Amino acid sequence: MKRNIVKDCVLYDSQADYTYEDYCENCEDNGIEPKGEDSDDYWDFVSRMRDNDFDDFKCNMEYSSFKGKPCMITGTLGLWHGRPDIVPVLCDDIMEAIEKCLDNNFAFECEIVLNEGHLDVNIHHHDGTNCFEIWLLSKKGQREVERPIYKWEKDYEPKRDWFKLINGYLF
């Protein structure tokens, strides 16, 4: 039986394009006279729409079939002096993992992509891009993480068989 592995499905992109025409249409729908293309009013509209997109994403994650499943964050940091690996981070839930990647729910200049059975969370900043991967833990992965030795060791390397693939769409 062939698995339904989704590749490169963008779940959230903070740089979604909201055109001036979108703004004008919104103003017309609400009986408001649109301001100029570079006006504060237009950029407030863009900011509100991006915030709404992220709120919608979070609401959809509440109904995800993967909610409440333990997962692990792996990845690299894009720093001016290189790309160091992060210490893997265990999380109780996919949304908790996403919020850790976003640094406490800060969703500016990031994208979240369902890619070949895991989530890629890319955070763009002045030094480069932090690239995180969120993996669901398999039963073996959960057992390995819960072993007493890992509770005290800060630096451990997860194995590929610790993870299971996300099949299909999240929500």
The pLDDT-based confidence of 25 (bands split at 50, 70, 90) is very high
- Candidates 124, 142, 140, 136; CA nearest to 164 is 136
At what angle are helices 94-101 and 40-62 packed, to 10 degrees? 150
Spatial separation of the C-alpha atoms in residues 118 and 166, rounded to whole Å? 6
pLDDT in tens, 106-128: 546 899 999 988 999 999 888 88
Phi, psi of 114 (to 5 degrees): -85, 115
pTM score: 0.82
The pLDDT-based confidence of 155 (bands split at 50, 70, 90) is low
Spatial separation of the C-alpha atoms in residues 4 and 75, rounded to whole Å? 24
What spatial distance separates the first Cα and last Cα of the chain, rounded to whole Å? 23
Spatial separation of the C-alpha atoms in residues 134 and 121, rounded to whole Å? 8
**DSSP structure string for 88-157:** PEEESSHHHHHHHHTTTT--SSEEEEEETTEEEEEEEETTEEEEEEEEEEPHHHHHHHHSHHHHH-S---
CA angle 46, 50, 56 (to 5 degrees): 145
